[in-house]
Structure 1
């Protein structure tokens, strides 16, 4: 039995330990599932990828004729290349034909793409238990893996990025690998001649993903501007920015304000505190942040942090209410700022 961990999958697809049998890539990140399958097939094709005999099927096609999978897997390659059968949208209807192939896989590689599968799912259980099976979990990028992917992409292209490019891009991007790849490719193409990327470049090219709206949410909340907050929240949510992500960013924002406020309480002017930061906040936000440092005291920021932690906990317990909790909490903090 071979059950790979998610962090082991990239290394596995680069050097798979078998060239025939059943491979199942599954997970909630459809883009990462597809990318994993594509990389795996490239390696399974060997030294002659053009000569590989690849058949692509859809699980819907096999629903009425599951035996076709066995037939395709056992068909001889007409031109002698590696026999690969790729099945999209794989599900439990393939368990029976795969049981037969598991016991006698032959020389073919059966590569399956599936959505997220729980541990007791029949398809996942079959592949994990098979001697000639490998299950490849594909879960959304973490902050660490996404940051590593960005740096690797820019380094390979020989592009120098300013210090705040990666943090800003991390806030913009979601966790879908396919979308991430598209955005990185766009940035690499943009910087192909200059070999340099700035924060302004990222915002100009990628801000449609919600970054500008997120900055507006943070500054409207901290600055006490209720109408601007409503518009920014509507824009971010319409762009499918996750509600819990927004709460996390509000939490980080108020934590940062509190750290800066401690320096202000020691006697430093707010603008001097902001100018000394590395990376320095974008010049377009300096005025708004300076105003927030004047509005919020340390005790008030501590209370705001507690309120955000309670809200985050509530959204985790009751995900269906996440948007309502986000709006209620942000507006409450906004009104608190407006009263100062």
Structure 2
């Protein structure tokens, strides 16, 4: 059955025997993994976790049901984490759902499953399955996610600080979590020992300039610096940061520029528009954004947005070049920007 966020979180936090499988799918795999960790915490630090992948259960469809019914070697709680990419685990999951008993909960973490997926259809139709799709949060939703992650680490941050962290990480949950952990260490904060962070802490930790930062890539793309964009793409690829986070980071900048450019098209000056933006823009970014809003007109921003959304769609589709396609599209947009004046 299909679950909403509140339902899936409550079920993972307190698993019951009537739900044998949690299917976590969708384009935001970081979000799916974060949900899977809720079950791990609910089972306890001493619980035994069994990791399986799609290829293993495809070769032996009975393996998943056997593991779900097995006792822990140490007599304590036990749970199974299954990593899949499509329908390769359908027979194994069918066996799990139809087994006489399955005392250990199973979490299957999948990517973006197509609507035609037999596995997804089976999960949505089953009463003993909860299925939830995670999508990369955008705009205010991304800011709220950053503030919620900060609260979990004992940090208090204002909306403009949250937006700056989101912009630097492209809204990717894994990168956000890493940056927030660094900030919590810097101010010695913890859930039982809350602390507050501002822009000075972000400057000190280097949220906008350290490893994994996406702002330099965004500026290289939108400021028409293809060589800089290529260097950043290569650096980020070495760190394992490719694909969706890069698209989201550049899209966020486009979404920032669009309303500003619309005001200019309506007759306002660039200086007036930037002055009226107030705290909606981080002060260190105002100069580069003012240059970009001069460079890009509304029709070209709309085209760039459309091209990135199409790249996102193709990235989610099986059999595409994935990160290579995304990198090529970002460089192409940067070259277009270089020709704009």
Tell me the TM-score normalised to structure 2 length.
0.71
Aligned-partner SS, 1:63: helix
* Counterpart selection for 1:182 from 178, 193, 196: 178
Compare CA radii of gyration and give the structure with the larger one. Answer: 1
CA-CA distance at 1:133 after TM superposition = 1.7
CA-CA distance at 1:288 after TM superposition = 6.4
Q: Map Cα deviations across residues 97-152 of structure 1 (whole Å, 9 max, x no partner).
A: 43233223523323322232222222222222222122232332333432222212
CA-CA distance at 1:202 after TM superposition = 2.6
* Counterpart selection for 1:149 from 145, 150, 170: 145
Aligned-partner SS, 1:141: coil
Structure 1 distance, partners of 2:72, 2:283, is 62
8 Å Cα contact 1:214-1:236 kept in structure 2? no
Structure 1 distance, partners of 2:156, 2:45, is 35
8 Å Cα contact 1:14-1:40 kept in structure 2? yes
* Counterpart selection for 2:96 from 90, 93, 101: 101
Structure 1 distance, partners of 2:164, 2:25, is 29
Structure 1 distance, partners of 2:304, 2:273, is 29
Structure 1 distance, partners of 2:228, 2:99, is 58
The aligned counterpart of 1:323 is: 330
Q: How does 1:202-241 map to 2 (within 5 A)?
A: 202-203=202-203, 204-207=206-209, 208=211, 209-215=213-219, 220=223, 229-238=225-234, 239=236, 240=242
Aligned-partner SS, 1:4: coil
Higher deviation after alignment, 135-144 or 151-160 = 151-160
The aligned counterpart of 2:136 is: 140
Q: Give the 3 Å change call, closer, same or farther, for CA 277–140 of structure 1 in structure 2.
A: closer
Aligned-partner SS, 2:207: helix
The aligned counterpart of 2:303 is: 310
Aligned residues: 310
The aligned counterpart of 1:4 is: 3
Q: Map Cα deviations across residues 223-272 of structure 1 (whole Å, 9 max, x no partner).
A: xxxxxx3444334444346357436524633643664898975xxx95x9
The aligned counterpart of 1:42 is: 41
Unaligned residue ranges in structure 2 (runs of 5+): 237-241, 315-324
Tell me the TM-score normalised to structure 1 length.
0.71
The aligned counterpart of 1:120 is: 116
The aligned counterpart of 1:224 is: none
Q: How does 1:250-269 map to 2 (within 5 A)?
A: 250=254, 252-253=256-257, 255-256=259-260, 259=263
Higher deviation after alignment, 171-180 or 159-168 = 159-168
Q: Give the 3 Å change call, closer, same or farther, for CA 202–141 of structure 1 in structure 2.
A: same
Q: How does 1:66-81 map to 2 (within 5 A)?
A: 66-77=61-72, 81=76
Structure 1 distance, partners of 2:32, 2:228, is 33
Q: Give the 3 Å change call, closer, same or farther, for CA 172–261 of structure 1 in structure 2.
A: same
Q: Give the 3 Å change call, closer, same or farther, for CA 17–260 of structure 1 in structure 2.
A: farther
Structure 2 distance, partners of 1:63, 1:180, is 34
8 Å Cα contact 1:85-1:111 kept in structure 2? yes
Structure 1 distance, partners of 2:45, 2:330, is 49
Structure 1 distance, partners of 2:308, 2:302, is 10
Alignment root-mean-square deviation, CA: 3.9
Q: Give the 3 Å change call, closer, same or farther, for CA 332–247 of structure 1 in structure 2.
A: farther
Q: Give the 3 Å change call, closer, same or farther, for CA 68–286 of structure 1 in structure 2.
A: closer
The aligned counterpart of 2:317 is: none
Aligned-partner SS, 1:85: strand
The aligned counterpart of 2:198 is: 198
Structure 2 distance, partners of 1:315, 1:280, is 24
Higher deviation after alignment, 26-35 or 7-16 = 7-16
Unaligned residue ranges in structure 1 (runs of 5+): 222-228
Aligned-partner SS, 2:181: helix
* Counterpart selection for 2:81 from 77, 80, 86: 86
Aligned-partner SS, 2:64: helix
